[in-house]
């Protein structure tokens, strides 16, 4: 009987995804505080609040590219890929539909999930070309820092979440490249043996990481509903239109 070789699950991609989820919840918690006027700071233009959502998007897309390489680099599993792709695109369309009716002047026509869906398709083409993936990813992100981007969909209104495919697909390209080079670097491999990854709690955290899409979808409605309820109960602040 042939022995099956089961590759151990890498810890770092899960860790980065968990960090992205924690930062996302913190950002939306802060956004809701401002929205309901419990506190005030300029969440749209202050440097920290400008940088934070971009870091979150980068981490999510970086781990998307990494995961795609781990699962599909040797042989693309089309059934598994399109099952995941269908979930993401359905969720993205649902977000567009809900925000269109609730916030017609700020509805999300191409947000984080929309970008993840198309970036996943684009990254598939480079799974077996990690060096090209690295060069393209770095080029897209660095050129963006100097204001040079490939044009993408942009409607006149300011959407609540707008993540253009370019340059952000570059983060997924870099994740794909990282997945290739990571096992080849003894220095990077030491990260897999960090003490935190040896704790029993880490197994639970990995399970949470596996449900990142679900958490992405439900966390903001829960937070928004919580603050909305507090606002109604105490009648302290007028909800902005």
Q: Which of 116, 64, 73, 69 is nearest to 92 (CA)?
A: 116
* pLDDT tops 90 at residue 232: no
Q: Give pLDDT, residue 238.
A: 52
3-state secondary structure of 44: coil
Domain coverage including residue 209: 12-234
**Residue 241 domain-assigned?**
no
- 6 — pLDDT class (breaks 50, 70, 90): very low
**Residue 24 domain-assigned?**
yes
**φ/ψ (deg, to 5) at 73:** -60, -40
Q: Give pLDDT, residue 130.
A: 96
* pLDDT tops 50 at residue 5: no
**Residue 107 domain-assigned?**
yes
- Identify whether the C-beta of residue 26 lies closer than 8 Å to the C-beta of residue 83: no
Q: What is d(CA 186, CA 6) in angstroms, rounded to the nearest whole number?
A: 21
- 208 — pLDDT class (breaks 50, 70, 90): very high
Q: Give pLDDT, residue 122.
A: 97
Average pLDDT over residues 14-38: 95
Q: pLDDT (tens digit, 9 = 90+) per residue, 111-155?
A: 999 999 999 999 999 999 999 999 999 999 999 999 999 999 999
Q: How many domains does the chain have?
A: 1
238 vs 21: which has the higher pLDDT: 21
> Is this model's pTM higher than 0.85 or not?
yes
């Amino acid at each position: 009987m042939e022995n099956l070789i089961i590759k151990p699950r890498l810890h770092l991609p899960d860790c980065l995804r968990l960090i992205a989820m924690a930062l996302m919840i913190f950002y939306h918690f802060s956004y809701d505080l401002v929205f309901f006027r419990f506190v005030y700071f300029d969440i749209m233009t202050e440097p920290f609040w400008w940088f934070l959502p971009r870091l979150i998007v980068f981490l999510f897309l970086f781990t998307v590219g990494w995961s795609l390489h781990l699962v599909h680099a040797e042989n693309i599993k089309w059934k598994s890929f399109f099952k995941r792709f269908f979930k993401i695109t359905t969720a993205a369309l649902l977000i567009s539909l809900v925000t269109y009716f609730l916030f017609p002047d700020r509805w999300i026509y191409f947000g984080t999930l929309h970008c993840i869906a198309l970036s996943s398709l684009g990254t598939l083409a480079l799974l077996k070309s990690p060096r090209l993936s690295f060069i393209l990813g770095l080029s897209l992100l660095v050129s963006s820092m100097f204001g040079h981007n490939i044009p993408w969909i942009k409607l006149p209104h300011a959407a609540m979440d707008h993540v253009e495919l370019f340059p952000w697909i570059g983060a997924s390209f870099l994740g794909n490249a990282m997945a290739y080079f990571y096992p080849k670097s003894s220095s990077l491999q030491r990260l897999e043996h960090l003490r935190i990854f040896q704790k029993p709690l880490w197994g639970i955290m990995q399970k949470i990481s596996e449900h990142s899409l679900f958490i992405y979808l439900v966390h903001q409605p829960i937070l928004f509903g919580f603050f909305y309820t507090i606002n109604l109960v105490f009648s302290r602040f007028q909800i902005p239109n």
